[in-house]
Amino acid sequence: MATTIKDQLIVNVLKEDQVPPNKFTVVGVGAVGMTCAISILMKYLADNLALVDVIEDKLKGEMMDLQHSSLFLKMPKIVSGKDYCVTENSKLVIVTAEAHQQEGEIVS
């Protein structure tokens, strides 16, 4: 395979896959948290979005709602979980959860 002069002279120092993604995290998937998440998606601000909440069923439902909207939006990778390990390498963390909310507690 013949190489061009450009390929011989220009060498990429940083591979594309080494560039860290623009990851945002929203802690708390109540009304305020989901408004933040939707705003991030509508403005195309992040390549990855992580959602964290102690109420696992609500968290899963909200994540699925966002994933279903991928038909209408350019969607980043969306992850969620109760464990804060999903927030690893986030450039921005938005905390909207109540400080005293416990697992199983219903907040109106």
Integer Cα distance of 89 and 32 in angstroms: 23
3-state secondary structure of 28: coil
Mean of all residue pLDDT scores within the chain: 84
For residues 21-44, average pLDDT: 92
* Domains and their CATH numbers in the chain: 21-95 (3.40.50.720)
% of the chain at pLDDT higher than 70: 81
In the predicted structure, residue 19 carries a pLDDT above the cut 70: no
Contacts 24+ apart (CB under 8 A), 53-61: 53/27, 53/28, 53/29, 53/80, 53/82, 53/97, 54/82, 54/97, 54/101, 54/102, 54/103, 55/29, 55/101, 55/103, 55/104, 55/105, 56/82, 58/29, 59/29
pLDDT of residue 20: 58
How large a percentage of the chain has pLDDT more than 90? 49
pLDDT range class, residue 34, cuts 50, 70, 90? very high
pLDDT tens readout for residues 46-63: 989 999 999 999 999 999
CA dihedral for 73, 48, 39, 101, sign (positive or negative):
positive
With beta carbons less than 8 A apart as the criterion, state whether 86 and 52 touch: yes
